[in-house]
């Protein structure tokens, strides 16, 4: 990984050395899924904290996202009142954190360079932190600037269960001000278990379920189209917030392809662009609304036709639904809404072409292979 201002060439090597080193480390705190160790360097009053955390049932990729995705982090890491990305670069980013302290003490903030390195061989992610000098980002009036002496998060799959995560935290932070160092050392040893518990509870209660619902939505959106007006009802969870946690309102997506050159559509299509796809939406509602209402008396199932013309014009309901899908996918996929919208339509258009090709081949008789 190319290093830059804020990281020395051997930064990662030092982190790995401390992770595996046992000399000088003393056990500070232990729970079922967290083990915390402390170490004090000669002539230094602040301890270094090393924590080994276990996240059963949390895949490593999700664990990295919980730590690295700012919008996700804001939802579970309540110790910070503000988390803002100040700069984004190909190899690193600059992030501002602000944390109010109890008992009338002044708020602390910290500005860090954050870099991420992947080891594909071991499926390990290294997240490295270093201090941004105050002359780069000045401290705000009335807020004490904390200093990152060293900090890293290491995320690996559990060797016994690759769908679970083993995480190592290593940090040494000077909170500055008049806060006694012995208080910093005492509370630092109890911070990792709480940090892990907040993250894990958020994942189990919200993130994992929202992720499953998003996957259902994407699966419905990219389902192969039949190329005809006769398609299969696809039940899909309505994208409420938080997704499918507190509602019994479901969506049933019905893909439909129609042609403006059809004799039934030709006259209106000449006068009003998109008339064919609008007529298809009406037909689908007339055909499916009653069926959806009878599916389950305990929940509301809404029929949503995703209709498209053979020339590529999508119906209003499809455009609105796909736009909402792109909005929901933009943050977790770290893309802009326009990028996600283009990807969704591109995939659906490709599926349409393939379905039309299958329909033509099915009417052409026995298949054949042409070789050159």
Whole-angstrom distance, CA of residue 148 vs CA of residue 39: 16
pLDDT interval class at 67 (50, 70, 90): very high
Whole-angstrom distance, CA of residue 333 vs CA of residue 54: 25
How do residues 116-134 score in pLDDT, each as one tens digit?
A: 999 999 999 999 999 999 9
- For the segment 240-265, the average pLDDT, to the nearest whole number, is 59
Does residue 81 have a pLDDT over 80?
yes
pLDDT interval class at 136 (50, 70, 90): very high
Whole-angstrom distance, CA of residue 46 vs CA of residue 107: 20
Q: What percent of the chain is predicted at pLDDT more than 70?
A: 75
Does residue 104 have a pLDDT over 60?
yes
pLDDT of residue 257: 81
User: Is-contact 170 48, C-beta < 8 A?
Assistant: yes
Highest mean pLDDT among 131-135, 257-261, 337-341: 131-135
User: Is-contact 107 125, C-beta < 8 A?
Assistant: no
User: Is-contact 53 33, C-beta < 8 A?
Assistant: yes
- For the segment 176-194, the average pLDDT, to the nearest whole number, is 88
Does residue 232 have a pLDDT over 50?
no
pLDDT of residue 347: 78
Does residue 215 have a pLDDT over 90?
no
Does residue 331 have a pLDDT over 50?
yes
Respond yes or no on whether the N-terminal peptide bond of residue 91 is cis (omega within 30° of 0): no
> At 275, which helix (H) or strand (E)?
helix 275-293
Q: Give pTM, 2 decimals.
A: 0.60
* Residue bearing the bigger pLDDT, 141 or 216: 141
Q: Token pair for residue 346? A: 């591109």
Residue 317, by phi and psi: left (phi above 0), alpha (psi -120 to 50) or beta? alpha
pLDDT of residue 247: 41
* Residue given tokens 């006068």 in the structure block: 271
Does residue 178 have a pLDDT over 50?
yes
pLDDT of residue 349: 75
CB atoms within 10 A of CB 117: 13
Does residue 334 have a pLDDT over 70?
no
Q: What angle do CA 155, 199, 239 make, to 5 degrees?
A: 110
pLDDT of residue 90: 87
Exposure string over 69-95, b if 16+ CB within 10 A, otherwise e: eeebbeebbeebeeeeeeeeeeebbbb
Does residue 296 have a pLDDT over 80?
no
Does residue 372 have a pLDDT over 50?
no
Residues with Cβ within 8 Å of residue 332, at least 6 apart in sequence: 65, 69, 72, 211, 214
């Amino acid at each position: 990984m190319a290093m830059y201002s804020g990281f020395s060439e051997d930064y990662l090597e030092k982190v790995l050395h401390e992770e595996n080193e046992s000399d000088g480390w003393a056990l500070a705190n232990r729970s079922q899924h967290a083990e915390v160790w402390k170490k004090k360097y000669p002539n230094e009053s602040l301890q270094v904290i090393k924590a080994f955390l276990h996240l059963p049932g949390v895949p490593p990729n999700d664990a990295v996202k919980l730590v690295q995705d700012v919008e996700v982090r804001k939802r579970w890491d309540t110790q910070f009142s503000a988390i803002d990305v100040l700069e984004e670069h190909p190899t690193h980013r600059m992030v501002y954190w602000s944390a109010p302290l109890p008992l009338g003490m002044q708020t602390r903030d910290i500005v860090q360079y954050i870099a991420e390195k992947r080891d594909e061989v071991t499926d390990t992610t290294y997240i490295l932190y270093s201090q941004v000098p105050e002359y780069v980002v000045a401290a705000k009036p009335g807020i004490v600037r904390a200093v990152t002496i060293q900090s890293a998060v290491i995320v690996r799959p559990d060797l016994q269960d690759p769908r679970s995560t083993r995480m190592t935290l290593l940090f040494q932070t000077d909170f500055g001000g008049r806060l006694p160092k012995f208080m910093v050392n005492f509370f630092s040893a109890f911070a990792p278990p709480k940090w892990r518990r907040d993250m894990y509870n958020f994942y189990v209660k919200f993130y994992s379920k929202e992720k499953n619902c998003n996957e259902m939505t994407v699966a419905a959106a990219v389902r192969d189209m039949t190329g005809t007006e006769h398609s299969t009802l696809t039940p899909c969870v309505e994208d409420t917030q938080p997704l499918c946690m507190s509602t019994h309102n479901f969506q049933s997506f019905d893909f439909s392809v129609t042609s403006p050159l059809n004799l039934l559509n030709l006259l209106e299509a000449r006068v009003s662009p998109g008339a064919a796809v609008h007529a298809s939406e009406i037909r689908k509602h007339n055909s499916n609304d009653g069926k959806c209402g009878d599916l389950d008396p305990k929940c509301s199932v809404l029929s949503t036709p995703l209709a498209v013309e053979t020339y590529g014009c999508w119906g209003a309901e499809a455009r609105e639904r796909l736009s909402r899908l792109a909005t929901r996918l933009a943050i977790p996929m770290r893309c802009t809404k326009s990028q996600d919208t283009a990807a969704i339509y591109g995939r659906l258009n490709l599926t349409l072409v393939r379905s039309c090709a299958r329909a033509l081949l099915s009417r052409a008789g026995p298949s054949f292979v042409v070789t050159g």
